[in-house]
Chains A and B, each alone.
Chain A
Amino acid sequence: MNGRVSSAIPGGAKTLAKRKATQENKLKQQLQNQPTSTRAAGAGGSSATMLKIYTDESQGFKIDPMVVLVLAIAFIFSVVLLHVLAKLTGKLF
């Protein structure tokens, strides 16, 4: 009666739906672009030809690199010691 009502009413359910769709798309895109490896996140790590596994300093008790070498030697000696003990006693373990 009072002239014609425009077909698209601003606001309302349609716009909300649209906004939601955009938001979802955006989230999806973000999920797609999330890095899948430490290298992709820019923190070093495995590359195409390298398998670099341990590049971050994680929690846990921190040790010096020298300790690793000493630990390894100690481990080797303990195994040698076991051999010697086994030889001496015949059947200790």
Chain B
Amino acid sequence: MSGIRLLDLAKPFVGLLPEIELPYQSADFDEKIVYTIAAAALYSLCGLPLNNVNIEKIADPFTWLRSPLASQSGTLLEFGVLPIVTAGFLWQIIAGFRLIKVNFESRSDRELFQSLQKITAVVLALIYSVLLCFAGYFDSIDGFTNDITPSPWPKLTIVLQLTGMSLITSLFVELLDKNYGFGPGALVLIGTSAATQLSSSIIGFTSEKTSRGYESHGALIQLIKNIRNKPLGTAIYDAFTRENFGNLTQIYIVFAALSAVLYLGNMRIELPIKSAKVRAMSSVYPVKLLYCGALPLLFTYTVLYNANIFGFCFTQIFKDSKYISLLGKWELNDFSLKTYDLTSGFLYFISISNKSSNVLYSLIRPITFSIFITLTSYFFAKNWANVSGSAGKDLAKQFKEQEIALVGHRDVGAAKELNKVIPVASVTGSFLISSIAIGAESLGFCKGLGAGCIIGLMSSLTCLETIMTEWQQNNGAASQFGKVFGGQQ
């Protein structure tokens, strides 16, 4: 072995990282529920405005990307789980393609790999926040307040808050990942945020002052308010078309998409399995059509979000350069002063921004956007089973360890048989899920709510699976939770 491994670069920092102890014994059902709810609630609580940022006066270029990654503009959750998810995907894929040498069988290598992911998450948050500061994202956009302060303090506190928050978020994720709570942490947080967002855009009571008077965040609430104050026709038309908050069109599209996802989520192939030891034991092993769940779409949005953050920062910082506008061009939305809209450039074609001076552009955009989403999801789905260790050969290995055999196949044949099903399922599944997302998003009505809710729903279903396994294995019905909510049995 010559040279220094990339993995070893993490070594000096390992001692600085907080690391949650693994539980001595598996926590019981009630405890897990408490930890899960606590982590999710505290995460939601972090949606408080950043210090030194005037949240009402900043414009947001990433509105349509926020919902899938549980982020909120101008708050501590400015990046949501983006740094953690990016780091996780990045290193797992690099290791999966054997671009760096990691010996996963050695414990110390695994630990280093994990620390590397955590460090990357924090460093990414640092990079994003510094770049966004330089790009002037946190400055108020109205011309009246003078924000050009010579002091670097405000910017420094912003960077510190965001970096600290990403460390806290990664600890939340770690807490849930390490079996103190349920399910993969990142997915729990995404699911929580999607649920919150969907319910607030349907029945959110809070209102905000806009150019048309006070408007409620919830579409349904606004409809009721409109019916009382305006003529019926205008009231209903307004509830379906308003731009700044959730409207009923979005809600209907989201519900259609969610029911399609639920329907597809139930499709599976059941492979008959039997015990290799006990003769009469037989069961089925389900291979789901959506084999990779929400991950292909989550990966795609992670890529898009990263591209947009870097794109936005570079275009703002290197404004004078001639070629930078090829990458993307953001223009302040004159009407609301709340968002930046992409109007041209490469990133415009893979966005759902509706605005363009060029008619041809706005005709091409849904097509290029769809192609991008489909191709990225396809790339991911094709490789993820192998990369993550859930491909046919890995499953066959597990079967062998648990002394399970596919009916009608020997040990050697199992991998081959599974490989006939799994790649097809994961690619088809990701294609279907991305088409649903495209259907919901590509016309630009949903502004990310559609994709966010699809990813949130699928993540929650994944978490539900782990909860149900836990319930059955650890006698959940005997827990306090089971006694209260389990019903009569």
Interface residues of A (CB under 8 A from B): 34-41, 43, 45-65, 68-69, 71-73, 75-76, 79-80, 82-83, 86, 93
Contacts and interface: CB of A to CB of B under 8 A. Distances in A.
A76 to B, nearest CB: 6
17 contacts: A35-B105, A37-B96, A46-B389, A49-B290, A50-B184, A50-B466, A51-B88, A53-B117, A60-B16, A61-B19, A62-B21, A63-B20, A68-B171, A71-B168, A72-B42, A75-B168, A80-B48
Nearest to A55: B177
Given A36-B389, A48-B293, A83-B51, A41 B104 contact: yes
Given A45-B389, A48-B291, A56 B426 contact: no
A37 B104 contact: yes
A59 B104 CA distance: 16
Given A68-B20, A93-B51, 12 more contacts: A36-B98, A40-B104, A41-B104, A45-B388, A46-B389, A47-B390, A48-B293, A48-B426, A49-B462, A54-B174, A59-B15, A60-B18
Contacts of A49: 288, 290-295, 458, 462, 465
Contacts of B42: 69, 72-73, 76
Interface of B: 14-23, 35, 38-39, 42, 45-46, 48-52, 76, 84-85, 87-89, 92, 95-96, 98, 103-105, 107, 110-115, 117-118, 153-154, 157, 161, 164-165, 168, 170-175, 177-178, 180, 183-187, 288, 290-295, 298, 384-390, 394, 426, 458, 462, 465-466
Contact of A40 (B107, B394, B462): B394
B187 A50 contact: yes
Given A34-B103, A51-B184, A68 B175 contact: yes
Nearest to A31: B98
A15 B368 CA distance: 59
Nearest 6 CB-CB pairs, A to B? A40-B389, A49-B293, A39-B389, A41-B104, A58-B111, A54-B174
B39 to A, nearest CB: 7
Contacts of A35: 104-105, 389
A43 to B, nearest CB: 6
A13 to B, nearest CB: 28
Contact of B14 (A48, A59, A79): A59
A54 B387 contact: no
A46 B388 contact: yes
Dominant SS among interface residues on chain A: loop
B31 to A, nearest CB: 10
B14 A53 contact: no
B111 A57 contact: yes
B89 A60 contact: no
Contacts of B183: 50
A93 B103 CA distance: 47
Contact of B35 (A37, A47, A54, A65): A65
Contacts of B23: 65
A64 to B, nearest CB: 7
B411 to A, nearest CB: 15
A82 B156 CA distance: 13
Contacts of B48: 76, 79-80
